[in-house]
Structure 1
């Protein structure tokens, strides 16, 4: 193997992802060749075709529906190690199983901790974008491998900064610090709502008076859209307050149960997301923010 090959990382992905090419270009990485499928009984088959001996490998994974994808991912990670990879790191732009970070009712599994322990056993480092850190200060409290968190705010600021006459809306108190910083850097006013969670799929959102902004386009800013109920209630509250045009910009678009179509059908005038999770709404590219974090992890792996 040539010295250049030793320092050129290999990037593996089970499917063609929006971030794959831009990250390969920015990292000067080669695409790792693999084969995967499912047997008739549902079991996974994984085969690596690239020579990974002595190579630093990156797994780029969409974990938006983890129960369907996790086993294949750890099969690949362990296979790369078995075949002699120098290191195996994971880039999971959307990091799943962050919601259940406490035992809210007796007997519940704290899945964030269990998932982190399991995943840490199969990788050497982790990079993700805007994980839902609520009761944890950092990923280090969950994951035993080195991790880096990429903030998506600069990408949102760049996109919002190209727009004029907006009102930014944070749906709940958790979002206030984040939305306030985005508003300051993009030059737009903002308001923050109050959210009450009534169940997995039911929330109530109330907003401060917004009548003074009735000539502006409201853009709801959120980190994750899953069921879409928070965005829907925020949309309804804005319309009730006299805002005629409402859009939404989010980091991770999960869109369970086709909630994107439901939001547009309910009157949302625009919907954009970053390319952390593949979706037709991917407009904002986070690869310029991800690449330096990945490079830092690769440098650390190469030095050990």
Structure 2
């Protein structure tokens, strides 16, 4: 795919411009109008190229996900034939199984919903705790999961040489290990117990911490 344009929402202008510069293509913005009841009206460029990159991070996801699901079919109406979604943070991936009867497995449902609207997806370090790849939950769509861990390790090593990298829990081991190993930094993870969304208890690992940069 050789995109002709990077299309983004107006609150991601700087990121869109950086991505467009790297791809050596122009960038354009989706304008948004917010009605008093919170509903959004979107305005895209009136003509779009056949191959399009659409950038949308999905932190604070509910509003952004609805707007994205409006923008994607609108982009096809305006000329896009292949759409690559670049979503640095891919929301709703944490609920990857029903922990109690009746819980919706949002990872599977949201991933399938997006897969029906885009031809490809690039994201960074998604929550794939119980699956091996995005392909398992995004049928018919090529999903690519990049990792920022080595870059974070390089940044940490440059800022504080010899630092100890500490992850919040066992699920973070895959990332903290990749960051540490890339730069020869020591690493460890905490033990976390979650009793609620804001009630979390963390025990430090049994490693020497006194006097160390963490």
* TM-score normalised by the chain length of structure 1: 0.64
For residue 47 of structure 1, report the CA deviation from its aligned partner: 2.1
Aligned residue for 2:36, secondary structure, equals coil
Match of 1:178 among 162, 166, 175: 175
For residues 251-280 of structure 1, the C-alpha deviation after alignment (integer angstroms, 9 at most, x for no partner) is xxxxxxxxxxxxxxxxxxxxxxxxxxxxxx
Match of 2:82 among 83, 87, 102: 87
Q: RMSD in angstroms over aligned alpha carbons?
A: 2.0
Distance, in Å, in 2 between the alignment partners of 1:119 and 1:208 is 39
Aligned residue for 1:20, secondary structure, equals helix
Match of 1:64 among 59, 78, 98: 59
Counterpart for residue 15 of structure 1: 10
For residue 152 of structure 1, report the CA deviation from its aligned partner: 0.7
* TM-score normalised by the chain length of structure 2: 0.89
Distance, in Å, in 1 between the alignment partners of 2:176 and 2:30 is 40
Counterpart for residue 92 of structure 2: 97
Match of 1:160 among 156, 159, 184: 156
For residue 22 of structure 1, report the CA deviation from its aligned partner: 1.7
| Equivalent residue runs for 1:98-117 within 5 Å | 98-117=93-112
Distance, in Å, in 1 between the alignment partners of 2:19 and 2:175 is 26
Counterpart for residue 45 of structure 2: 49
Aligned residue for 1:69, secondary structure, equals helix
Counterpart for residue 135 of structure 1: 130
Aligned residue for 1:215, secondary structure, equals coil
Is 1:188 aligned with 2:185? yes
For residue 120 of structure 1, report the CA deviation from its aligned partner: 1.5
For residue 129 of structure 1, report the CA deviation from its aligned partner: 0.2
Q: Classify 1:138/1:8 alpha carbon distance in 2 versus 1 (closer, same or farther; 3 Å).
A: closer
Distance, in Å, in 1 between the alignment partners of 2:3 and 2:205 is 53
Distance, in Å, in 1 between the alignment partners of 2:197 and 2:39 is 31
Distance, in Å, in 1 between the alignment partners of 2:42 and 2:209 is 54
For residue 7 of structure 1, report the CA deviation from its aligned partner: 4.9
Q: How many residues are aligned here? A: 211
Match of 2:118 among 114, 120, 123: 123
Is 1:215 aligned with 2:172? no
For residue 50 of structure 1, report the CA deviation from its aligned partner: 4.5
Q: Classify 1:34/1:188 alpha carbon distance in 2 versus 1 (closer, same or farther; 3 Å).
A: closer
For residue 88 of structure 1, report the CA deviation from its aligned partner: 1.4
For residue 146 of structure 1, report the CA deviation from its aligned partner: 0.8
Distance, in Å, in 1 between the alignment partners of 2:134 and 2:142 is 9
For residue 8 of structure 1, report the CA deviation from its aligned partner: 4.9
8 Å Cα contact 1:58/1:88 also seen in 2: yes
Aligned residue for 1:32, secondary structure, equals strand
Q: Classify 1:127/1:165 alpha carbon distance in 2 versus 1 (closer, same or farther; 3 Å).
A: same
